[in-house]
Amino acid sequence: MKRVFRNVTLSVLEFCALIYFSPAFSSVKENDDLIEILRTHTYIALPLEQQIEDEKATIETVTNVLNMFRETWQFKTDKITITPHNPSDRINAWFTPSENSLTFNIAFLGGRLVRTCRSIDIVSHETGHLFLKVLQPVWCRPCRPQTGAFDESFSDITAILFGLWHAPSRKRALKNLQSQKSCLGGDVGVCIRDMQTSKTLSELDSCEVHDLSQPFTAAVHDTLEDHFQILHQQGVTMNNICLGLARNFRDILVQGVLNTKDLKPSFGQIALNMIRVAGPYKNSLGQNFVRRQILVLFYKQIDQKKYYTTGPYEGICDPQTPMRSRNMTGYRYSKANYNDSFCMIL
Ligand SMILES: [Zn+2]
């Protein structure tokens, strides 16, 4: 890996100015990703060495997340611009699609300085947004609440899978997987979102995209946990379980997204495409999607045979979902799995 840092002359800090941005000062070429850092200068006492260390760590996480996906998928990104230390009074970070940029706030929380760029959870979540834009550049996120919420869910699932894939994060990711609460940002002592909420779609208090994303994320989280328990009981080593689950679910997630042709898909459409490619995980994944009301199960009798199929859960934060789309091209259950646990939910 080759890293090239350009020298720049730093501007003089104005006495009264709280913040100013210097021009891009460094570029890093790693694989095919051109990553540019925007350094922010503030009165928040953060030594230059610390800033540089944070910048390198942020670049490393972004690169590693993209490399996780590159194990299976080949893609190129546009130049990525990262602002690791954006001064704020809020713990937050975001991806700006029009600029292909990632911004990470630095903020005081209860007297403690939190640098969100040092959270592997938060950085991998934001990189998830960036990668989803690579996969589906023209999806219209604002057109439909569930499409925007899936963007959040995709990014949270990216953070969960990266934790399992990335050896240094594995211990904490496993602990999260098995605990009652799985906090995004827990690695820097904050809980931006619980990725293991017990709420179903109809139990949500709001249609805000981050809130709305939680049941979808939790369905995948629960499926990972179910399979962790099964594999653990079979005596598979922890490292092999984590790596295997991360790789398999990464590919289910990405293939499900790639197979979704609607430009403003609902949760149900994406979930269906995921379980269609989920192989041995299809029943447990389908079951967890039904439990969280991402999908509903119903059947239709044709020639004295019952075909079970799934459809989107109608109406919740999604006025565009047709009332119970009885589309028989949906996922069908064969006679062989007619009595399996997924169907038993009925
Ligand atoms: Zn997000």
Query: Residue 320 sits in a domain of what CATH number?
Result: 1.10.390
Ligand 1 centroid distance, CA of 310 (Å) = 28
Q: Do 41 and 108 sit in the same domain of this protein?
A: yes
Average pLDDT rounded to a whole number, residues 92-97: 96
Ligand 1 centroid distance, CA of 338 (Å) = 38
pLDDT of residue 83: 95
List, in order, residues 6 or more apart from 278 with CB less than 8 Å away.
Answer: 252, 285, 286
pLDDT tens-digit readout, 207-261: 899 999 999 999 999 999 999 999 999 999 999 999 999 999 999 999 999 999 9
- By three-state DSSP, how is residue 95 classified? strand
Ligand 1 centroid distance, CA of 273 (Å) = 22
pTM given for the model: 0.83
CA–CA distance, 62 with 58 (Å, rounded to integer)? 6
- Number of structural domains the chain divides into: 2
Q: What mean pLDDT value characterizes the chain?
A: 80
Q: Do 81 and 154 sit in the same domain of this protein?
A: no
Q: Among the three residues 68, 103, 118, which one is the final residue of a domain in this structure?
A: 118
Torsion on CA atoms 218, 224, 227, 228, rounded to nearest 10: -120
Ligand 1 centroid distance, CA of 152 (Å) = 5
Using alpha carbons only, give the angle 273, 255, 170 rounded to the nearest 5 degrees.
Answer: 110
Q: Is residue 114 domain-resident?
A: yes
Average pLDDT rounded to a whole number, residues 146-167: 96
Q: Is residue 126 domain-resident?
A: no
Q: Do 44 and 108 sit in the same domain of this protein?
A: yes
In angstroms, the first-to-last Cα distance of the chain is: 53
Q: Do 270 and 306 sit in the same domain of this protein?
A: yes
Q: Do 152 and 36 sit in the same domain of this protein?
A: no
Q: Do 337 and 242 sit in the same domain of this protein?
A: yes
Ligand 1 centroid distance, CA of 300 (Å) = 38
Ligand 1 centroid distance, CA of 5 (Å) = 29
pLDDT at 34 over 80: yes
Average pLDDT rounded to a whole number, residues 85-105: 95
Q: Do 304 and 205 sit in the same domain of this protein?
A: yes
Q: Do 316 and 202 sit in the same domain of this protein?
A: yes
Q: Among the three residues 59, 85, 118, which one is the final residue of a domain in this structure?
A: 118
Q: Is residue 333 domain-resident?
A: yes
pLDDT tens-digit readout, 277-312: 998 898 889 889 888 888 876 665 656 655 555 555
Q: Which of 12-16, 17-21, 106-110, 114-118 has the highest mean pLDDT?
A: 114-118
Amino acid identity at 42: T
Enter the tokens of residue 244.
């295997």
pLDDT at 107 over 50: yes
pLDDT of residue 278: 92
Q: Among the three residues 83, 118, 153, which one is the final residue of a domain in this structure?
A: 118
Ligand 1 centroid distance, CA of 9 (Å) = 34
pLDDT of residue 316: 72
Q: Do 112 and 166 sit in the same domain of this protein?
A: no
Ligand 1 centroid distance, CA of 1 (Å) = 29
Q: Is residue 123 domain-resident?
A: no
Q: Do 111 and 155 sit in the same domain of this protein?
A: no
pLDDT tens-digit readout, 309-333: 555 565 677 766 544 443 333 334 4
DSSP 8-class letter at 15: S
pLDDT of residue 255: 96
Q: Is residue 182 domain-resident?
A: yes
Ligand 1 centroid distance, CA of 93 (Å) = 8
Range of the domain at 253: 141-344
CA–CA distance, 40 with 37 (Å, rounded to integer)? 9
Q: What is the DSSP string of 270-301?
A: HHHHHHHT-GGGHHHHHHHHHHTTSEEEEEEE
Q: Do 325 and 264 sit in the same domain of this protein?
A: yes
Q: Is residue 108 domain-resident?
A: yes
CA–CA distance, 251 with 265 (Å, rounded to integer)? 19
Ligand 1 centroid distance, CA of 303 (Å) = 47
Backbone angles phi, psi at 166, to 5 degrees: -85, 110
Strands (E), the chain: 2-4, 19-21, 26-30, 33-37, 40-42, 80-87, 93-96, 101-109, 112-115, 183-184, 193-194, 295-302, 305-312
What CA–CA distances, in Å, run from 188 to 82, 115, 159, 170, 172? 19, 8, 14, 16, 12
